[in-house]
A and B are shown apart, each in its own frame.
Chain A
Amino acid sequence: MSDSPILAVKGLRAGVADEDLDILKGVDLALGPGEVHAIMGPNGSGKSTLAKVIAGHPGYEARGGSVEFGGEDLLEMEPDERARAGVFMAFQYPAEIPGVSIANFLRTALQSRLEDGEELDLFDFQELLMERMELLGMDASFAERHVNDGFSGGEKKRNEILQMAVLKPALAVMDETDSGLDIDALQVVARGVNALREENPEMSVLLITHYQRVLSHIVPDTVHVVVDGRIVESGGPEVALELEAQGYEEYRKAHAA
């Protein structure tokens, strides 16, 4: 573990806003620069809640503990401030924005990172966008489509990866990006993530998933198993393989005991 983590989660308790129940019941996590951590766990264990609390989803609230990003208190920041600070979440179910092209959307997102009065150069942007799409092996016409409007599951996930490639975050939280993808689409997404990591070895990735299979494409440094709102085991990639073989039942029993 690196001594100065980019993301430090300590004793995090969190749940759905307006509901008393805690979904996360004390999570500790430290992610160093350039590290890939996988969070695995059964449905309802709190994996996605962790992603949403990190990104600042207004439907969730942190009730205890802390989340620091680059030494700053992330929980005090609005979602847009977090994004501008370098946090990116790849959504499991990204929203549709009819009438807004991906290019326009990304241009607005990049513009929002500039100082007041500073204007994004449109030619520079166009060049960046084309270069990023080429890196991910995407057709240029994709950028003209309206954000997620009528997209297949695979297209939505690719769109998330494209955004990640353009926005170049310090921390990418990938919320079940692999779910619902066939093997080809999964490879496209994994290749994209790996290309970005190669380009920027400092980028940290928090990969939330149900399945081991994505981890053979994006190899994690650490795998955490979350059951009932707590991390019950952390280890190397072999943890994921064991999990795949045995299922979560063992952990559930151990945890209940």
Chain B
Amino acid sequence: MPSNEIIQGLGLDDYKFGFVTDSEPVFKTRPGLDADVVRQISARKDEPEWMLKRRLKALRIYDAKPMPQWGGDLSELEETLSRTYFYSKPQEQMERSWDDVPESIKLTFERLGIPEAERKILAGVGAQYDSEMVYHSLKEEWESKGVIFDSIEDGLKNHPELFRKHFGTVIPAADNKFAALNSAVWSGGSFVYIPPGVRLETPLQAYFRVNQERLGQFERTLIIAGEGSRAHYIEGCTAPVYSTDSFHSGVIEIVVNRDAHFRYTTIQNWSNNMYNLVTQRALVQQGAHMEWLDGNLGSKLTMKYPSCFLVGEGAHGEILSIAYAGDDQHQDTGGKVIHVAPNTTSSIVSKSISKGTGRASYRGLCKVYDGARNARSNVECDALLINETSRTDTFPYIEIDERSATVGHEATVSKVGDEQLFYLMSRGMDEAEAMALIVRGFIEPIAKELPLEYAVELNRLIELEMEGSVG
């Protein structure tokens, strides 16, 4: 079966698949957005007054800001948004059963080799989680070290001061139209606090947060890494996100305090009717390291540029991103590094693959402020084109106001060559295997940075996507 059919199947809506729920009708706000909808969301979450005020203010900013005219084509977004339900009650409270999940989705999970338990969660039926014991023992370890790993809602409830001190400081509502939107209607996401000096060997994985609010359309994540701490947070997974939503706009804020090391990994594969417009940014203090590892597959249009604001001396920021644009998809991705302090260093490595009529754009910003003495930055973006119809563009913005800064930029575009294909086929691989191997090699510099199981999933997923791309 062509993989595209499977993947496209994921974008269709519940009713078509005949999902039945025995519970009460799910609470939803009415389609569209106004102050009343925002008030309802806040009331549902039983939020303090200050948060409601923040939300309402963000809504005003959102209304006032024009739609961006750069990046991808957002001309149909207004219409989509008028139909969007900005809030609905979390999915896992719906009593879906695994038997109700469409065969095509089960098949996709199976072919991806996703563990059964994870499949259920991904399909929105995961009330029981087989690895709950694992989760509990990790949870005990985290608690004993004072680590907080909660849903964003619980973060606000249980740690109001810490929350309020940092929320919206890295990405204020006024940052951009979609940050404003998220600030008005956010729901779901994680709240993470790593106390000073604490080092976590096991990554914090979002899917461990079972029986809590699932990642929503307007997910909001706030992470505070204390001085000298080390941790790795993993969001998402390579399985197609099973969602009827056509719009996803997340905000991820990370504060990396002095000498801390933090890595945020996300690999996401959205159904291809989806607009995916995400703002993710880290504030990196003196001597601290921040790494974004960002994988984007699927969606109709993704606009996502993980950023590092290097505000303390010697801070280091790294962005590794990989994008896969299949037929009719546009991945407008890249990264931003802002050097504010002296001796700050950064590196962006971006890889994109365009197949069929897919389009991948690299869009990046490297800004060095006056006074960021000896700042060094290196940007490398490589694009791989699979077919004649595939497209790639590069938009590197470089703004340097400091004489002693060193900034390098390198961009390559390659096509899967006939000679490469013939070479591999002359060793016995069929055309699809040969193509998949070339693509795997292309993404290897990023895949090797992923935890093994994610790298394996990513490779499998790309193989699945590559099927039928030749001939």
Contacts and interface: CB of A to CB of B under 8 A. Distances in A.
A95 B422 CA distance: 9
Nearest to A166: B427
Interface in B392-437: 417-420, 422-431, 433-434, 437
Nearest to A149: B441
Interface string A198-223: 00000000000000000000000000
A98 B423 contact: no
A78 B425 contact: yes
A56 B424 CA distance: 12
Given A95-B417, A100-B444, A108 B422 contact: no
B443 interface: yes
Contact of B426 (A59, A79, A97, A147): A79
Given A99-B445, A105-B437, A108-B433, A89 B420 contact: no
Contact of A79 (B422, B438, B442, B445): B422
B429 A109 contact: yes
A84 B427 CA distance: 8
A89 B441 contact: no
A96 B437 CA distance: 12
Given A58-B418, A59-B418, A108 B429 contact: yes
Interface string B450-463: 00000000000000
Contact of B429 (A56, A82, A112): A112
A83 B427 contact: yes
Contacts of B419: 95
B428 A109 contact: yes
B248 interface: no
B209 interface: no
A59 B419 CA distance: 9
A146 B440 CA distance: 12
A57 B422 contact: yes
Contacts of A58: 418, 422
Range class of the B interface residue count: 20 to 34
A248 interface: no
A177 interface: no
Interface residues of A, number: 33
A91 B423 contact: yes
Nearest to B382: A98
Nearest to A147: B441
B420 A95 contact: yes
A80 interface: yes
A239 interface: no
Describe B's contact surface by its main secondary structure: helix
Nearest to B445: A99
B433 A112 contact: yes
A55 B426 contact: yes
A167 interface: yes
Nearest to B436: A108
A97 B425 contact: no
B419 to A, nearest CB: 5
A99 B426 contact: no
B470 to A, nearest CB: 12
A251 B426 CA distance: 33
A180 interface: no
Given A97-B423, A99-B445, A100-B444, A80 B437 contact: no
A99 B443 contact: yes
Contacts of B440: 99-100
A109 B423 contact: no
B93 to A, nearest CB: 41
Contacts of A95: 417, 419-420, 422-423
Contacts of B431: 80
Contacts of A59: 418
A94 interface: yes
Given A80-B431, A95-B420, A99-B443, A89 B425 contact: no
Contacts of B426: 55-56, 79-80, 82-83, 88-89, 91
Given A59-B418, A80-B429, A95-B419, A108 B442 contact: no
Given A97-B420, A99-B440, A108-B437, A83 B445 contact: no
Interface in A178-233: none
B438 A109 contact: no
Nearest to A82: B426
Nearest to B447: A99
Contact of A97 (B438, B443, B445): B438
B425 A79 contact: yes
Interface string A137-168: 00000000011000000000000000100010
B428 A84 contact: yes
B442 to A, nearest CB: 6
Interface in B331-363: none
Interface of A: 55-59, 78-80, 82-84, 88-89, 91, 94-100, 104-106, 108-110, 112-113, 146-147, 163, 167
Top-8 shortest CB links A-B: A99-B441, A99-B444, A100-B441, A83-B428, A109-B427, A95-B423, A79-B425, A80-B425
22 contacts: A55-B426, A56-B425, A57-B422, A79-B422, A79-B425, A83-B425, A83-B426, A84-B428, A88-B426, A89-B426, A99-B443, A99-B444, A99-B445, A100-B441, A100-B444, A105-B424, A105-B437, A106-B427, A108-B433, A109-B424, A110-B428, A147-B441
